[in-house]
């Protein structure tokens, strides 16, 4: 079986990393894969580094209808059995239509927690299957008319960390000019409105006053970075907040954090939360979107009502001040991910869908 995977995002954010993990897992099961991606993207560069087959195409985003013809031409050249569309940025609208034009069955994985209007029915029409990565997204897809067996649920997955992180605690602190004795709280998210950084900073003002040795490292990039830096200065938090930049190698050091803080107001599932727990890092997060499906409240982390920054500050401050509880959460987090969110299970679930579509294309 040969599957063409379409990922038009330019950066190695969570969805793109899941697509590459899936391709690698499928390769071990004898499934040929080709990644079709945006020319010049870091996604394509990483796929090539991993030894995956990559074909780059010009892609300008949602308003690039010419992509339909370019992608359809590639599909006619490659003659795959199936197309798997992974991203938004035009891929969801345009990828399915290109596959239909080339006469190749297609499925789409939706990763975004956002209700859609009636026009969404047109978007999903070319897809033989649509996969939600969380129950929240599945309910949103049901609201626009999708039903099993055309609609499936396959959650994201990660490999649990089986060894010490490559970076020591001292190296992590040194990298960001911090005292290694500080408590380190990380936030891994793009600087965009739905990731909730503004609320996180409001909560952090309270936490920083109660825990003066704590430091907040903001890992990410995005259009809101300038305004967030100004907000940090306005709140008097420059001594306790670090803009740590975007890092594709989080696995090298995420296990050295004391807590992962996640204040997203909308979240399809939250891959960074899975990755943190897989490394034994407890989580404090808003109960938004699919987050409650991957963080076991009271066992691997603390969940609070969405947008309640006061409750978020209390939960984060209490966890930082309770080492015994942090250690208990840490041990439970690793076990939770190792049992419930295995990459092998995700790969097998997709492979079952693929075989169903390839063997019974009339469906």
**Do 39 and 140 fall within a single domain?**
yes
pLDDT at 363: 45
Q: Judge if 22 and 125 occupy the same domain.
A: yes
- 198: domain CATH number is 3.40.50.2000
Say whether both 26 and 129 belong to one domain.
yes
* Core vs surface per residue 206-218: b (16+ CB within 10 A) or e: bbbeebeebbbbb
Q: Are residues 234 and 330 in the same domain?
A: yes
Q: How far apart are CA 143 and CA 123, in angstroms?
A: 14
Q: How many residues does this entry show for the chain?
A: 363
Residues 106 and 217 in one domain: no
- Of 195, 173, 209, 170, residue with least CA distance to 316: 209
- Positive or negative, the CA dihedral 222, 223, 229, 231 is negative
The Cα 32–Cα 48 span in angstroms is 15
pLDDT at position 150: 96
Q: What DSSP designation does 160 have?
A: P
Q: What share of the chain is helix, strand, coil (3-state, %, to 5)?
A: 45, 20, 40
Do 279 and 169 meet the contact criterion of CB atoms below 8 Å apart? no
What's the pLDDT score for residue 53? 98
Q: Is the peptide bond before 163 cis (omega within 30 degrees of 0)?
A: no
| Structural domain includes residue 265 | yes
Q: Is the pTM of this model over 0.75?
A: yes
Is 76 a domain residue? yes
| Residue 265: closest CA among 199, 311, 190 | 199
Domain coverage including residue 100:
2-157+342-359
Residue 269 to residue 110: CA distance in whole angstroms: 11
Quick check: is 280 in a domain?
yes
Contacts of 129 (CB under 8 A, 6+ apart): 107, 108, 149, 150, 151, 152, 353, 357
163 domain-assigned: no
Same domain, 129 and 207: no
Q: Are 122 and 179 members of one domain? A: no
Domain for residue 164, yes or no? Answer: no
DSSP H or E run through 48: helix 42-49
Q: Given this model, what pLDDT does residue 163 score?
A: 60
Looking at the structure of the chain, the number of domains it has is 2
> Which class for 100: exposed (0-12), middle (13-18), buried (19 or more C-beta within 10 A)?
middle
Q: Answer yes or no: is 274 within a domain.
A: yes
Interacting residues of 241 by C-beta distance below 8 A, sequence separation 6+: 201, 204, 215, 216, 218, 232
* Strand stretches in the chain, DSSP E: 2-7, 32-38, 53-57, 82-85, 106-110, 129-132, 151-153, 183-188, 214-219, 241-245, 259-262, 283-286, 301-304
Segment holding 3, helix H or strand E:
strand 2-7
Based on the fold, state whether residues 197 and 313 are members of the same structural domain.
yes
Burial of residue 260, with CB atoms counted within 10 A of its CB: 0-12 exposed, 13-18 middle, 19 or more buried: buried
Let me know whether 329 and 224 are in one domain.
yes
In this structure, are 188 and 135 located in the same domain? no
Over its length of 363 residues, how does the chain's per-residue pLDDT go in tens digits? 999 999 999 888 999 999 999 999 999 999 999 999 999 999 999 999 999 999 999 998 888 999 999 999 999 999 999 999 997 888 999 999 999 999 999 999 999 999 898 889 999 999 999 999 999 999 999 999 999 999 999 999 998 775 678 899 999 999 999 998 999 999 999 999 999 999 999 999 999 999 999 999 999 999 999 999 999 999 999 999 999 999 988 889 999 999 999 999 999 999 999 999 999 999 999 999 999 999 999 999 999 999 999 999 999 999 999 999 999 999 999 999 999 999 999 999 999 999 999 987 554
In a domain, 162, yes or no: no
In a domain, 244, yes or no: yes
CA distance 207 to 244: 19
Cα distances from 182 to residues 122, 155, 211, 213, 280, in angstroms, run 52, 35, 10, 5, 18
Residue closest to 270 by CA, chosen among 129, 145, 100, 156: 156
Residues 327 and 180 in one domain: yes
7 shares its domain with 151: yes
């Amino acid at each position: 079986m040969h599957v063409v995977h379409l990922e038009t995002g330019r950066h190695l954010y969570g969805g793109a990393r899941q697509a590459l993990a899936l391709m690698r897992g499928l390769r071990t099961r004898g499934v040929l894969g080709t990644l079709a991606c945006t020319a010049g993207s870091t996604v394509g560069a990483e796929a090539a580094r991993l030894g995956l087959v990559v074909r780059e195409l010009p892609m300008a985003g949602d308003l690039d209808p010419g992509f339909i013809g370019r992608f359809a031409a590639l599909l006619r050249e490659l003659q795959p059995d199936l197309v798997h569309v992974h991203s938004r940025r035009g891929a969801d609208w345009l990828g399915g239509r290109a596959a239909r034009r080339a006469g190749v069955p297609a499925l789409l994985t939706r990763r975004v927690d956002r209700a859609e209007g009636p026009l969404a029915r047109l978007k999903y029409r070319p897809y033989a299957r649509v996969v939600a990565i969380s129950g929240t997204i599945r309910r949103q897809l049901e609201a626009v008319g999708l039903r099993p067996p055309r609609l499936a649920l396959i959650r994201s997955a990660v490999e649990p960390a089986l060894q010490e992180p490559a970076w020591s605690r001292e190296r992590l602190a040194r990298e960001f000019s911090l005292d290694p004795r500080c408590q380190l709280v990380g936030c891994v998210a793009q600087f965009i409105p739905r990731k909730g950084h503004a609320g996180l900073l409001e909560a952090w003002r309270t936490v920083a006053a109660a825990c003066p040795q704590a430091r907040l490292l903001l890992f990410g990039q995005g259009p809101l970075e300038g305004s967030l830096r100004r907000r940090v200065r306005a709140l008097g938090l420059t001594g306790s907040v670090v803009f740590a930049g975007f890092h594709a190698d989080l696995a090298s050091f995420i296990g050295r954090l004391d807590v992962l803080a996640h204040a997203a107001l909308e979240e399809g599932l939250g891959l960074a939360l899975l990755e943190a727990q897989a490394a034994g890092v407890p989580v404090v997060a808003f109960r938004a979107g699919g987050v409650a499906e991957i963080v076991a409240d009271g066992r691997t982390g603390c969940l609070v009502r969405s947008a309640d920054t006061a409750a978020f500050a209390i939960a984060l401050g209490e966890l930082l001040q309770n080492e015994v509880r942090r250690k208990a959460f840490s041990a439970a987090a690793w076990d939770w991910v190792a049992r419930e969110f295995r990459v092998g299970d995700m790969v097998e679930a997709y492979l079952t869908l693929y075989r169903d579509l390839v063997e019974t294309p009339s469906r």
